[in-house]
Amino acid sequence: MKSAVRWLMPHPFLTLILAVVWTLLQNDISAGMVVFGLILGILIPWGTAAWWPDQPQDFRLGKMVSYATIVLWDILVANVQVAWIVLTRSNESLRPAWVVIPLDLREPEAITILAGTITLTPGTVSADLSSEGHSLLVHALDCPDPDAVRDEIKDRYERRLKEIFL
């Protein structure tokens, strides 16, 4: 039974997302649309399985939800902060700086989420990964103390991502 499910849905989470996206696209929640979305969600991962060789590793959905909430809140705060900096500070008083973040995460998915989070949150944009993927290059808009920014990102986001991806 379990292997039949695995065969039908090699990426169960992708199946769910495709079904939800299809239903949202139709703008109409009816049983027919949900079923058709599920059919698409099964056919598309099955048809493209050759390009998705790895099984996704397990992650904790509950912690993912709380992480997303924190990030959404930070995005709101970050927007107000950056808007304030743009409107009130002169270019000379800004101190842009590069920050290097040594990564403890190894999974590509987790590093991608961390880089995306950094770009969307207060005054930082992730720019590059080191050649072997051990550190992340981040640009900060106004940063008198790069070490404090590094510690905050490691403590606020990376620690939580480590708990999500086991």
Partner 1 sequence: MMWELIGIYVAIISLIIGAIFTMVGAIGMLKLDNPMSRLHAPTKVGTVGIGALLLASMIHSWVTADGSFNELLIMAFLFVTAPISANFIAKVYLHTNEDKTLPKPPRDDTWSTLNVPAADRDLIED
Query: Shortest distance, CB of residue 148 to partner 1, whole angstroms?
Result: 16
Q: Is 138 or 164 the residue whose CB approaches partner 1 more closely?
A: 138
Stated as kind and residue range, the H or E segment containing 139 is strand 135-140
Nearer to partner 1, 6 or 89 (CB): 89
Q: How far is the CB of 92 from partner 1 (least distance, A)?
A: 9
Inter-residue contact 110 to 165 (CB < 8 Å): yes
Q: Is 98 helix (H, G, I), strand (E, B) or coil?
A: strand
Whether the CB-CB separation of 77 and 84 falls below 8 Å is answered with no
Nearer to partner 1, 15 or 126 (CB): 126
Q: Give the residues lining the site for partner 1 (CB under 8 A).
A: 21, 23-25, 27, 75-76, 78-79, 82-83, 86-87, 91, 94, 96-98, 100, 102, 115-116, 118-120, 123, 125-135, 137, 139, 141
Q: Which has the closest alpha carbon to 165: 118, 103, 113? A: 113
Place of tokens 């924190």: 70
The least distance separating partner 1 from the CB of residue 14, rounded to whole angstroms, comes to 14
Q: Is the Cβ–Cβ distance between 146 and 156 less than 8 Å?
A: no
